[in-house]
A and B are shown apart, each in its own frame.
Chain A
Amino acid sequence: MSASLFQPPGELSPAEALHLSQQAPSVLKSNPASIRSAPLLALFSAKDTPDLWTKYENLLLSCLRTGDEPSARQCLERIANRFGADNERVMALIGLVKEAECQNDRALDEVLKEYNKILTNNNTNIPIAKRRIALLRSIGRTSDAVSSLNTLLDFSPTDSEAWSELSDIYLGQGMYAQAIFALEEVLVLAPNAWNMHARLGEVLYMAATTTQAAESPAQKYLAEALKRFCRSIELCDDYLRGYYGLKLVTSHILKTPPKPSKQSDEDRFSLPDDAKLKALDEMATTKLAEIIRRNSAGEGGWKGYSKSEIEAARKLLDQDNNRVR
């Protein structure tokens, strides 16, 4: 997949990020240093398009990631020139660059204090609030991060980014029930996000395998995980993570068949019967094999999978083969 400056850079592999940030000098040179919005001058300078600013922002992030701070500074200056340094989003970017330039913990504390000061002036500055939470998390003050996330979500409960961050933190702490709750909130906001369905399936599966097996919550988690993976595949054909998870869950259930639960609660999802499980397992296996085959053959339209995911799927299938033999 060729990386482009118009895509959000969160998903890029290190090599792609490096490639992008190496383009920084040429991008910076090919665009004028400042965009004028004055009349007449606007006629002769470059067009002020939203694309350009997306490009600068993504370039800034890639440069920070690869340690090219001078270029990042330049991007930041141009953005700040255009939108003013008191724009909320620009403030967050400025903070981000400052964080990246910090050499030690003391400097990070300074940045944190600045964030606090901004937030006391304006407590609804959401980009800065998010930066502060991310900073708190990265310097290890997880409980502070969680409590500030919760206050943020208290007055802005429709923020899917914050909910998914919260679920990630909870998952890191091993608090599965809370992580699942937060992910469900994300799904309520984005009901057709197949990656979130698969992610929730993964969390449910983790919760099921770490709690005592054959207990009724574990079984409930397994059943829901299975269904989440199915849903993510239904929403997105050839979704590798979905098939991978489906394969994991079905083989787990087939290996250790859970006892039939005593109380039959019709509310809860029940596991499908063995024949269906086997069919699902088989389906996932063939599909994974197909994805791996086509990807390694380099067929058009099948190259978008990340290498590590393909590798993991291959390992899973190998394990499966060994067990059968």
Chain B
Amino acid sequence: MILTGVLRHYASVLMAAGPKKVDAKTMKEQRGLFRGVNLRNNYHVLSGPSFRARRDNITTAYETGAYLKEPTGSGQPAPNPMTDPNAMEGMMGAMKNNMAMIIPNTLIMSWINAFFSGYVIMKLPFPLTIKFKSMLQAGVMTKDMDPRWMSSISWYFLCMFGLQSVFNFLLGRDAASQMTQQMSGMNQQNANPFGPGQDPNKQFTAEAENLAVIEHYSVLDDVEDRLLAGINN
């Protein structure tokens, strides 16, 4: 049982695609948008003229599509994510991971079923109420057996859930069993702001509008008054 866990870990490590290389244009597109977002959030550190200069610069760049990966593609309907090879690869990665989990699991399950079904394996050293029957005597269809008897398949399940910490100990913190969940969470976070099927051009124009409606103030406006007031108090 432990061996299968270890094997599964290495299988998923092997199949996991490394961080995908981003080409300059994609990076430009993503970070160009971040630049606008940053400017929108932190405009107050700038003085009035320098903010306006930046805003004009960025909005014209957004509107003319200078940051777009494919300038010609702007305005067209969003491409089908299935046709974009990059998106395909991302999906395949997720799929591969799932497959790596599913195939051994089904194999092991059928093997376990054939092997462990139908007999009791141990007697627990303490009495239990009748409710525990379903948990401890799976696969044994005996109605009036004492719940202290434990069927082998239940024992297998209990062990499998309990082995998590053993895997952590053997394989290090990022054991495969935990990793899949964390990885799916992480991918979402540092992935690009453009989900599949969204038109970057639209996001850029929306950001340009956001920038255009900013009413500028500067954090420097009355800073010396604030400072003097703070000292005098």
Complex contact A188–B31 (CB within 8 A): no
Complex contact B27–A188 (CB within 8 A): no
Complex contact B49–A267 (CB within 8 A): yes
Residues of A within 8 A of B114 (CB): none
**CB < 8 Å: which of B27, B38, B170, B220 contacts A224?**
B220
Tell me how far the C-beta of A261 lies from the nearest C-beta in chain B, rounded to whole angstroms. Answer: 14
Given contacts A42-B172, A158-B34, contact A181 B50 (CB under 8 A): yes
Q: Give the contact-size bracket for chain A.
A: 35 or more
Complex contact A187–B47 (CB within 8 A): no
Complex contact A268–B28 (CB within 8 A): no
A269: Cβ under 8 A from any B Cβ: yes
B-contacting 9-mer, from A55-63, A65-73, A149-157: A149-157
B40's nearest neighbour on chain A, judged by CB, is A188
Tell me how far the C-beta of A128 lies from the nearest C-beta in chain B, rounded to whole angstroms. Answer: 13
B224: Cβ under 8 A from any A Cβ: yes
Residues of B within 8 A of A155 (CB): 24-25, 27-28, 31
Complex contact A231–B220 (CB within 8 A): yes
B171: Cβ under 8 A from any A Cβ: yes
Complex contact B228–A283 (CB within 8 A): yes
- Total inter-chain residue pairs, C-beta < 8 Å: 99
Residues of A within 8 A of B218 (CB): 269
B42: Cβ under 8 A from any A Cβ: yes
Known contacts A124-B21, A184-B54, A234-B223; 7 further A-B pairs (Cβ under 8 A): A39-B170, A42-B170, A230-B224, A230-B226, A233-B227, A268-B48, A279-B228
Can you list 21 contacts pairing A with B, beta carbon distance less than 8 Å?
A39-B170, A48-B172, A122-B21, A124-B22, A155-B25, A155-B27, A157-B31, A158-B31, A158-B34, A188-B39, A188-B45, A191-B42, A197-B45, A230-B226, A234-B223, A234-B227, A267-B49, A268-B49, A269-B218, A279-B228, A280-B227
List the interface of chain A (C-beta within 8 A of B): 37, 39-40, 42-43, 48, 122-124, 154-158, 181, 184, 187-189, 191, 197, 224, 226-228, 230-231, 233-234, 267-269, 272, 276, 279-280, 283
List the interface of chain B (C-beta within 8 A of A): 6, 21-25, 27-28, 31-32, 34-35, 38-39, 41-50, 54, 169-172, 218-220, 223-228, 230-231
